Amino acid sequence: MKNFLIGLLDWIYKKKCYFCKSSKESVKMCSKCFDELEFLPVGINRKVFNTEIYCAGVYEKNLQKLIRGLKYHNQKDLAYYQAKFMWQYWQKMDFLEDDFQIVPVPIFPKRKKQRKYNHMELVAEEFSKLSGYDINFELIKRIKDTKPQYKLNKAQRMINLSEAFEIDKSKDLKKKILIIDDICTTGSTFEEMIKAFNKAGIYDIICFATTTPWG
């Protein structure tokens, strides 16, 4: 009954595309706007401690609006489209035979309470549905209430994130780790997470960001 009522309300009050405002498809992101998202060439974006980092697109235009809408403006439906974009890129690589556990970048509990959700956990859930990979929210925690990274330079980011993460090896699913995040700017967040995993004796890791400012 609940789903029926939700469907009825969606039909009466058609959803508008968050990007072009069209209600033709009654979705949060219409196919035209999704198809305008631009992929980066498939390949390693950078390496940190022998761990490969991949980035699916450039942080601009609709992709920037998608990420900001989900992260800051409570547009939770956009998590599906972010995961879909990442999955389409991921399918072009040579990892489809591997079995991963998805580990979204964690946020500090106080910040999660304020925001009421971790946007990358939502993306992880959608990416899991598309890929069939397990999700692991318990393996790594953010134990330091760090400052927002976007105003900091590379050196400041590293200091800000130093010792920010803690591993609980009892939660390891014994599968290859796929760390996902929305934006990879300097790679500092991935680097500190990789350090924490390596310190715990875990090395089988791939990092994957939706976007990077550097095409």
173 with 71, same domain?
yes
Task: Looking at the structure, tell me whether residues 88 and 30 fall in a common domain.
Answer: no
Residue 153's pLDDT is 77
- Give Cα separations from 180 to 35, 90, 120, 122 (angstroms): 22, 12, 7, 11
- Together in a domain, 130 and 144: yes
Residues 95, 178, single domain; the answer is yes
pLDDT in tens, 107-136: 999 989 888 999 999 999 999 999 999 999
Average pLDDT estimate for 10-28? 85
H/E run at residue 108:
none
| Confidence band for 2, pLDDT divided at 50, 70 and 90 | low
Closest CA to 200 of 144, 160, 140: 140
Number of Cβ within a 10 Å radius of residue 113: 10
Q: Are residues 71 and 22 in the same domain?
A: no
* Percent of the chain scoring above 90 in pLDDT: 76
Using CA atoms, how far residue 184 sits from 79, 150, 207, in Å, is 17, 11, 10
| Whether residue 47 is found in the same domain as residue 18 | no
pLDDT the model gives residue 213 = 93
The stretches of 145-187 forming alpha helices (DSSP H) are: 154-161
Q: Which residues pair with 104 in a beta bridge?
A: 180
Residue 73 sits in which domain range? 37-212
Q: What is the pLDDT of residues 152-183, one digit of tens each?
A: 777 887 777 788 899 999 999 999 999 999 99
For residue 111, with 0-12 CB atoms within 10 Å meaning exposed, 13-18 middle and 19 or more buried, which class applies?
middle
Q: Are residues 126 and 187 in the same domain?
A: yes
Mean pLDDT value across the chain: 91
pLDDT over threshold 80, residue 215: no
Tell whether 22 and 41 lie within a shared domain: no
CATH number at residue 101: 3.40.50
- Enclosing H/E stretch for 104: strand 100-104
Type and span of the H or E element at 170: none
**In percent, how much of the chain has pLDDT > 70?**
92
* Confidence at residue 6, expressed as pLDDT on a 0 to 100 scale: 58
Same domain as 15, residue 97: no
Shared domain for 82 and 115, answered yes or no, is: yes
Q: State pTM to two decimals.
A: 0.90
Residue 13 binned pLDDT confidence (cut-offs 50, 70, 90)? low
**Token pair in block for residue 70:** 């989900």
Query: Is the pLDDT confidence value at 194 over 70?
Result: yes
211/72 Cα distance (integer angstroms) = 16
Instruction: Give residue-wise pLDDT tens across range 48-75.
Output: 999 999 999 999 999 999 999 999 999 9
Count structural domains, the chain.
2
Q: Do residues 85 and 5 share a domain?
A: no
What is the pLDDT at residue 7? 60
